[in-house]
Structure formats: C-alpha cells, structure tokens
Structure 1
C-alpha cells in the first residue's frame, strides 16, 4: 500500500528519485495520466516541462504569465482505489495505486532536510530574520545554520540530561529563526519536540508541560518566561529553561535570580552553543523513519488540548505529497517564504520544510502583526501560507474602498470580469492592462513577487477565492486536513479555477466516505463522514488511549468527524460536521452545546440556539427571552418601552437595528457577563441575536423527545433570520 519513494519511468514506478530529477519532470509524466488522450494535450504538456526547472537561474517569481495544468483533465481528479468505489486516491497514482512516503532517497527524516537544502542551494541563503532597527533582513546561509544546529544539539544533550529517542523538549515561542534552529537541533539527536501555545488560556502551557512531563522548555520572550515563573508550582516536572533568542541582553541578574528562586536553571542559547562546541558529539543519534518527531497539541473540539503523535515518516510523507501535488508550482531554490502562521501548529511547519528541502529561503517577520504590512514590502515573499480570515480581510478592504464610488466600483468589476477570462483558461497573469489600472496595488501589498498562496484551517468563501486569484495574480491552492493527518489530505489542483471544493486526495493518502445514518448521509450517494488512511495519519493521542480508539480505528482509518461528498469531477466538498462542533472563519473550534449550557443560566433567557459557520468570524444566537423578567428590569435599564414586552409582536422585538435596540443590548450584555464568569472566550459569545416569542417545542419539530435542540431543524427554520443577523453585523 505504501511505497518508499517513486518516479514514473515507462509507466512503472522505480525505487528512488535522484537529485537530477525535478518535480516538474515528474509532474509532466504524471500529468499525462490525468490528461485527455488528445495529441494537443500531449504537446502542451511537453512544452510546459521545459519552461520551469528546479535549478533554473530564472526565478519563477518574475514570470508575468504562467500556464497551469496543461494536459490535466479537471473533470476526473480522483479515482477509485484498487477498484473500490468507496475509497478514492489522486489520479496522479493511476499507474500503480501506491502511496508516497518519501520523495528523495536521502531525505526520509526531518534530520536530513537541511543537508539536501545545502546541496540544492549551493550553500545559499537559508534563514532570514527581519531586523526592526535597520529595517532589513539578516540572512544566514545553509552552512551557518547547520553549524549552529549542531552546536545547539550537542549542548542540549550535555546540559539537560535528555535521552535520544526518549526525551521531549518544549518550545514556547512565536515564529523566529531560533525556533527553527532548536527544533532541527533536536532532530539531530532524535529528541521529540513539543510546541506549546497558550491561546486558549493561561493554564494550557502547564497542562501540556505536565502531560508531556517536560523537564526543559525554551522561551522567546521575558513575558513567557515570567508567565512560567508566576505559575512555577503548576509545572511539576520542569527543571531547565532556555532563553531562545540569540540576543541575551534581556537576561539580567534579576531574571536569573527569579529563576533560581523557583528552583529552575536558566541557560541562554549562546551558552548552549558554547557548551556544544566544547563537548562535540561525533556520532549523532540519528532518527529512524518510525521514530517520534513531534507531539503537536491541538485545541481540537474541547478545551483540553490533545497531543497528536507524529513520526518522521508521517511528516516527510506530508511534505512529499504537497510538493508533488503542487507540480510545477512547488518550492524552488529561488523562493522566499514568509513565516506568518504559528509554528505551534503543523501547517506552517510542513510548509517551511517543503521550502528547505528544495534549498529555498524562509524569513521570519518581527512578530508584531501591526507591522506585518510594512515588513512584507521589504521581505518580498514568493510563497506564503494563509488562513481564510486574512484573505477575507484583504477582500473586504478592497471593496470598502470602492463601495461609495460608483466609477471605481464599475472599474473594479470590469477589470475582474476581463481578467477572469484568463483564469478560466488556467492562465495566471499579472501584466495585463487591468493589472496596471487596478490590481497592481493589491499585488504590491504582498511585496509584488508573490506567486503561490496555500490556504488552510477553514474553507475559504468561493467569491473571495475567485476574486483574489484574479486580483493578486498568483496561484491560490485551498486544502483540507487536520493535525491528525499532519496537514492537508486534499488540496485543489494547480489551474483548477472552480471553487467550493477542497480538491482531490494528495498522493500520500486514501480518502473514503462512510455512512452517517443518524444524519441521513449515505456513502452510496457519495456523501458521508470523511475517513483518511495512509502514511500521513498520526499514531494516536498522547496518553489518551480511549480518544485514540474513538478517532483511529483498527484498520488505520482516521475518522475526521467532517461530512463531505464527492463531486462528479472527483473533488471533495465539505458540507457538515458529524458532531455539533464547527470552526469559525479564523480557525477557532466552537462547541455550541457547551456554550448554550452556560448561557442558559442568564435570567433573560428561556431557550437559546447558538449558530456559526466557517465562513463567519462571529457567532449569532436565536433566543427565546424571558419577557417577564426583562420587563421587571425595564425602568432600571431604561428600555423606554412604549408597551409591555408581552404585547409586542416578534417583529416589533426585532424591528430596530442592533445598534439602537436597547432590549438586544441588555440581553447580549448579560450573556457576556455569564459567559465570561464561566470562562468563555470572546469568540464564543454571540454578537447578534434574534428574539423569538414562542418556545421551541417537540410539536413544531425543533426539539427531540428528550427536549434537546434539533440543530439542523432550527437552522433551517430560521435561515432568513440568521442571514439577517449576519448582514447587520457586516454593515
């Protein structure tokens, strides 16, 4: 079922891809298996193969016209796996039906990535850190980076009593050059890294540290260091702290004394490197493909993080599948990726690794999101990873500037329509008259060189995706996946201009749909829960055997909990969640029933239904208010009622817009008070509400016999009201 590496030769798959074989060549060979059997398709594919090569001196970033997917048949993007109509694989695997686990013979673990990058780049630039003082990029070549990694690796082993293939090291930091240095230093001696994040609360870091029994944690700021010191009693196994930044001037005697008072030892990165230089380890404890590489904690669907166990093989397989799927748009030695999305999650990590493996460059911005727009103009990236919320914001900003100007709005729509004609022919251009008149300003906001944007975390609106592909003039590929399968398991093909789907499976996995009878989804109709299998699927949840068995079945299938269906062209579309849990646009998971169980404690509320979806960044609610209780507060709250609330119609309760509706304001504020008192985050609180006078009942089909909300029924019943609430929020 799994092959260790692969190259198509005369219709067969050999055992390796050597360094003289480009992914472009591979993609041209595989594209013939996707193409319509016409002579013109073959010649088109052939002409493309000579236009872009891995080691070409001409960079892809300055190419104003790119022809995507020549020879590909977008009507047939996935095929049944070994004649099983339920299980599907990428059409790229048509010749052999064998999944990829790695791409290059000499790169089977994370420890071997930089060695190949060094060879491909001929010791070119590798890591860049934006310098806020000089407003330039501080560059470090591959050999310099690898030398520092070696010193850090040997110093860690000497100082912290960590055991290869057994010990874990925590990294509590935003993206920065030193993060990558210490991460790959750990791989040299088969240490397992544990990224730590605290976006879900102050106790999350200690929870992760305790479950992973971390004795050593690296921190990048004084704030994070002090956060650990303030909660020192919660870190039960911690002994050592590492100051992660190269500049150690902030580590004062006072800081060192605080650390000692808490019973910890503090070492700076410089001290670790010096120790490594004085105590070299000549034989690295190199990892095997089945060794653990990362325990990546994900917020998942509850407030308690889950440690996703990933091996070197898992991660390399994911990197391989992405590079091959991107075909001639894969990373090259000429590329610069800007590191924006957090390395505490896997999407950014595998994206950067895919650049390093080809000898490309990664630049870390300052970390101040307020300065990102200015810094990106200097960094001039060619590749970036993004989440829908960022692209939605760009789209909304563009339209906000023309909303009140009829002429500008007309010109924008005209430019979009004219340039979209190229997109429909699988052509990406950024040198048309419409670019000069309208779209170059948009492209300049990305540094003018952007050629590839990969989007994940949540679905992107079709309108936004379509518009930005035209406006920015670059390839935008949308993927779907989970930390449990490292990153994406499906992604849109290069040149596929259609929207509303997340593409076919990648070449390292099988995807199938299974019945969900309680939701009336039947796999025979091409609809059901999405299951994933292959070398990208995780090993289980750390110290959570029951949750592992619930998610990963005995046959190795990952049960995602998402509902999808196969389109006629073999692409996957997301349509529902098996459980009543969903993501907001920014990627935050929402458990609506948990929120409802908390907010029902408001005396203003009799019944409540929380709603949101992946295309919106805020929640709304349908509420049956307790009008008698609110009436008793009317004078105190200055509601200025013209008549008793019980005599008001439902239309009257909702007639005033949100900004002037004192009744809604009163209820929303009370929900906020209750929610905050019970630990709900701001994104878990409804920002607009619809007031219903009549209670939800079993008779009207909105409640089950056990008086639970029938979520699909309520959503369908209030479709117009939900649309109205979101329109008010967008005004």
Structure 2
C-alpha cells in the first residue's frame, strides 16, 4: 500500500477528530490570521493571529455552549455569515458538539433564509450581525424549531429588543456559557468527538437553484475527512504555506479548503471582503490561494486597462509581453507533457526574460510576490487567460467538483498542470464518461443524498454509487479531464447543431478586456446571440479617453462608440468559430449582472434562466423578423 493510500484509507471518522489531532500535534503553531480595524479607524487593518491552541479554546467553548443549549448530535445549527475567522471557529464548534452545520449565504433574502432554516430543521442560528438576525426575527413564526439565535457581532446582539425568552445571545455569551459548562464537564467535547461516526451528518449545504427551491446536500463527516486527507495527499499544499482565504464559506469550495488546512497544518489568512483583496495581497503575501475565474478575469482586465492608460507605447509593450507569456506557457506545458521537462527554445526564453522584467514581475508583486500556485474552480477559466498568467509566473491550477462531491474531485497536479483542463481525480475518486459525454463520479466525497428528497437523489445517484454530475467532459489517455459544458446548458439550434455556450463565452472573455459577464443564447433559434455586460471601471476608463468623459455607465454602454468597440471583439471571436457558433447579434446590458438581482450565484456563476427571463425583451428584439443566416 502506498503512503497516499495509507493516508486516505486510515483517515479518522471526522474533521473534528482531525482538529483535535492537529491541536495536540502543533498547539503553538500559527493557525489563523484575521484583520481588525486599526486603532485610529483609519489606514490599513491590523492583523491578529490565533495559534491552534487559541483556536481550540474558542472552538471548545462554542461546542460546549451549544451542548448547554440542548443541541444534540446531528441536529442542525445554521451559520449565516460572511467569510471571517468566527465562521471557521463556530463551524468547528458545531462539528465538535456532534451537531451538523447548515450553511446560509449572508446575501440570501429573508424568505429563502426561512425556507433553508425550516427545511433543515435548524435548532440554532449563528448570525453575523443585526441584519442576519432581522431576517430570522421577521420569519420567527415560521420557525418553531429555531430555539436560539447567536449573533457574532456584539452590537448586533445588543440591538435585540424585547427578548423575554432569551432567544438572542451574543457569540461571546455563548462562549462564556460554554466555558462554565466545561468547568463542570471538562471532557464533554472530547467525548462528543470520540463518539462521532463517519456516516453521521456533518453539513447541509443548499445549492443555489436556478429554478424552484434550493436542495439541501447531505454531506456526512466522512466526506470532509476524506477531502482533508486527499488534499494533503496531493502535496500541493505544505505546512509552510500561507493561504489567503476570501471565498464564501457557505459555498463548498471555500469550506473544503478549511478541511484541507487542518490536515496539513498551514496558516490561513481569512478575510471575505472582496473589495479588500487587492489591498490585502501585499500584506498577507500568500504562497497559495484559491479563487473563481471572475477574479482572474478582473485582474487581467485591470492590467490591460492600466497598460492602455500608459499610452500607445506602453500598451504595445504589454500586448507583446502578453503574447510571449501565452507562447511560453504553451511551449513549456507541451514540452513537459512529452518529456517531463518544461524547457522552451532559447529564443523564446530570451524574449520571456525581457518581458518578465518589463511586465510579469510587477504583476507577481501585486499578488504579494510569493504566490506559488492559485487554484481556480467553480466555473471554467478561459484558457487564453490561464496561459497569460502561467507565462507570467502565476500558476493557476484549475480544479473541478460540485457541492454533491464535496468540491474537490479534480485538481491539476503541480508543475504537470495543463491549462484548459481540470487535472486528474483526487486519490480515491473514480471517474468515467457516459455514452452521452456526461461525467460520472464515485468515491468517499460523494453526498449521501438530497435532504428529504429521495426522488431527486435517485435521479443523480445510482445504487452502485456513481453520481451523475450533469457536466459534459472529455478524458485524455493519461487521465486529465476537460469540462466542455453543463449538460443542460448545451444549445441545440433550430438547424440541429449543438453548441457549448461556455466555450464561446470563454473565447470572448479571452479577447475582450472590457467584458464582465457574457451569455450566449440560441436554443431552438436559427443563430446565436449574446447579452454582454461590461466591467464598469475598465469601460469607464476607456470612455474618458474617447470623448465620453462625464457620462454615466448606462450612457457609456448605450453610446454608438462603445457598441462599435465591442463589435470589433465579437468579430475577432467569430473568425475562429464554426458558422453555427458565431454570434450574429449582441446587446450591451445597461448594468452588470449581480447577486442582488439573483442573476449570479455567490460564487459568481451566471444563472442562465434568470438572466434570460430578466432580459427577454432584448433577446426577442434580436430575433424579430430574423431569417436563417
């Protein structure tokens, strides 16, 4: 048996067990960094540190506090908060109490929050602030099983007026109760953890459905213990790494990273404020981070815009350097695939060295200067953007997984990564491609099923354990997977041709530095159209230099000059497409797609049916009186 097999097959029953083992092994090592506002309230944040022993004291107090409130094994405790260190500590507290965490995005409205709390049967809600508390209070009559709300921010708990039943308490108060309970029952948390079974429910994560109510995905403790050990077994992360974590922890991608960290023992710097990413990177100086493609696209667009603002000469240098980066990345990856050596021809290497001094080094500094690797998941990254970053020395390892597979089913293997693929399956995960091209998965990371929905479970989970992902993909002879599209998103035109919209959208994002979101439409139509939302900072910078200074975003988007600019990029993309794939018409949206309108998920994936409904008039307008082209 290999070391990898031993590590995975001898895994403990739960991440809670792993946490206790980690605390015992390295109590004084740094576990978490988190920001607090500077004393003056101005300037950059101060960053505080928690050791594993510090974290354990708080986790034990939360766990004992929940036990003192009467929470029992496998009962649900909901967590509605943005990404912050308290999210991790309270989640671990829930697991160490024997209960199960129900994750709720803080952006979820009151109606859907109430549905999730009721459907999950959550006994306690841990709410970030007064705003999250207000949602529960508004729907309290619909939540008879919800016995307490714990508010992370003290001010939010103090805003609870008229609370004669002690329904609301602060996190500090819960921890105080837990500390008192531990004095009387000092072994209670360790006993609960020791009693955990691998098949007990650990987490309920509700998928953000594009139609109808979201479904609760039941993930037992073994899913997370397996993921933690499998991530460690890949060797992609070591105990010396510093990971910057900003992803939403209510999403399975963010949560699986916390499991891997406990098994490996590295540092996590945690701050979910997306608007602070650029400011935080030079402070945190991460060696490893994970993100969704939209973040890399925004960075790329920002770099292009900055080069353009520097004048014609600077922009020309950037374009040359970008071309060299892509050529270098493709050459080095191709050579590594053939020979195991990433060397490139001498002339290309010389050009790359010059481009590095002029462009790439500054880009790496913007990421903190120490980034070994970045993992991208949740959606496809346009290969041309991936090649650009790879050639610039920022290695983006694409991965793949779903909520139903505990997130991390595939990841690219270190220096053998291949841009445009999601890599190889994690040790212990099996994959096969069905006759219709659908990717099927089997392994310890696969969900138990959908909560209270046996018929929905049976639709995707076969009796022998194979899970139908709903994604279409291709496997290379040596096991690298390429995802081509969602099965349900494939477009069949009225002429009978199949089109993968994500492929066309990815190509457009790679050539157009002004795009924020793009949706290609054409199901049962005689040609393809596109709805295009522009990145506001980038397009407004361009507008100021092209006679549109002082105009609003909507006015800039509506200007003929802007339409002509984007039309040029559409034509560039069309040149490389088959006739039936080409975008014949497009419309620029008056605003970007966003979470508030329900058009993108919290992990920034487009909800196609929602967008198509919201902009139905624009779509119909493009097809009015149209004939077969």
TM-score band w.r.t. shorter chain: 0.7 to 0.9
State the secondary structure of the residue aligned to 2:439. strand
Contact 2:428 2:443 in 1 (8 A): yes
Q: Distance in 1 between matches of 2:586 and 2:488?
A: 31
Q: Distance in 1 between matches of 2:355 and 2:257?
A: 31
State the secondary structure of the residue aligned to 2:16. helix
State the secondary structure of the residue aligned to 2:399. strand
Q: Distance in 1 between matches of 2:115 and 2:477?
A: 45
Q: Distance in 2 between matches of 1:571 and 1:564?
A: 10
Alignment partner, residue 427 of structure 2: 507
Q: Distance in 2 between matches of 1:268 and 1:624?
A: 54
State the secondary structure of the residue aligned to 1:304. coil
Contact 1:120 1:359 in 2 (8 A): no
Q: Is 1:685 matched up with 2:600?
A: no
**Residue 442 of structure 1: CA displacement?**
1.2
Q: 1:581 to 1:290 in 2, by over 3 A?
A: farther
Q: After TM superposition, list the pairs within 5 Å mapping 1:96-107 onto structure 2.
A: 100-101=8-9, 107=12
Q: Distance in 2 between matches of 1:187 and 1:251?
A: 23
Contact 1:622 1:692 in 2 (8 A): no
Q: Is 1:618 matched up with 2:618?
A: no
**Residue 259 of structure 1: CA displacement?**
4.5
**Residue 553 of structure 1: CA displacement?**
1.1
**Deviation string for 1:497-520 (max 9, x for gaps)?**
53222222221211111123xxxx
Contact 1:339 1:384 in 2 (8 A): yes
**Residue 275 of structure 1: CA displacement?**
1.4
**Deviation string for 1:230-255 (max 9, x for gaps)?**
3333334222100124xx24433xx2
Q: 1:442 to 1:127 in 2, by over 3 A?
A: same
Q: 1:458 to 1:623 in 2, by over 3 A?
A: closer
Contact 1:289 1:313 in 2 (8 A): yes
Length-normalised TM-score, structure 2: 0.74
Of residues 152, 162, 184 in structure 2, which corresponds to 1:244?
A: 152
Query: Alpha carbon RMSD of aligned pairs, Å?
Result: 3.8
Length-normalised TM-score, structure 1: 0.64
State the secondary structure of the residue aligned to 2:35. strand
Q: 1:235 to 1:394 in 2, by over 3 A?
A: same
Contact 1:219 1:242 in 2 (8 A): yes
State the secondary structure of the residue aligned to 1:338. strand
State the secondary structure of the residue aligned to 2:425. coil
Alignment partner, residue 50 of structure 2: 140
Alignment partner, residue 578 of structure 1: 487
Count of aligned residue pairs for this structure pair:
520
State the secondary structure of the residue aligned to 1:478. strand
Q: After TM superposition, list the pairs within 5 Å mapping 1:234-313 onto structure 2.
A: 234-245=142-153, 248-252=154-158, 255-260=159-164, 265-280=167-182, 281=185, 282-283=187-188, 284-286=191-193, 287-313=196-222
Contact 1:173 1:179 in 2 (8 A): yes
Q: After TM superposition, list the pairs within 5 Å mapping 1:177-196 onto structure 2.
A: 177-196=85-104
Alignment partner, residue 570 of structure 2: none
Contact 1:337 1:352 in 2 (8 A): no
Alignment partner, residue 126 of structure 2: 218
Moved over 6 A (4+): 609-614, 622-625, 655-658, 664-669, 676-680
**Residue 396 of structure 1: CA displacement?**
1.6
Contact 1:117 1:360 in 2 (8 A): no
**Residue 347 of structure 1: CA displacement?**
1.0
**Residue 299 of structure 1: CA displacement?**
1.3
Q: Distance in 2 between matches of 1:492 and 1:277?
A: 44
Q: 1:466 to 1:256 in 2, by over 3 A?
A: same
Q: Is 1:163 matched up with 2:72?
A: yes
**Residue 441 of structure 1: CA displacement?**
1.8
Q: 1:440 to 1:303 in 2, by over 3 A?
A: farther
Alignment partner, residue 338 of structure 2: none
Contact 1:128 1:140 in 2 (8 A): yes
**Structure whose residues are more often helix by fraction:** 2
Alignment partner, residue 371 of structure 2: 450
Higher relative contact order (CA 8 A, sep 6+): 1
Contact 1:238 1:264 in 2 (8 A): no
Contact 2:397 2:419 in 1 (8 A): no
**Deviation string for 1:52-109 (max 9, x for gaps)?**
xxxxxxxxxxxxxxxxxxxxxxxxxxxxxxxxxxxxxxxxxxxxxxxx455xx5x441
Of residues 339, 350, 368 in structure 1, which corresponds to 2:245?
A: 339
Q: Distance in 2 between matches of 1:372 and 1:389?
A: 13
Contact 2:88 2:258 in 1 (8 A): no
Q: Distance in 2 between matches of 1:268 and 1:216?
A: 12
Contact 1:301 1:581 in 2 (8 A): no
State the secondary structure of the residue aligned to 1:579. helix
Q: 1:553 to 1:433 in 2, by over 3 A?
A: same
**Residue 300 of structure 1: CA displacement?**
4.1
Q: Is 1:538 matched up with 2:415?
A: no
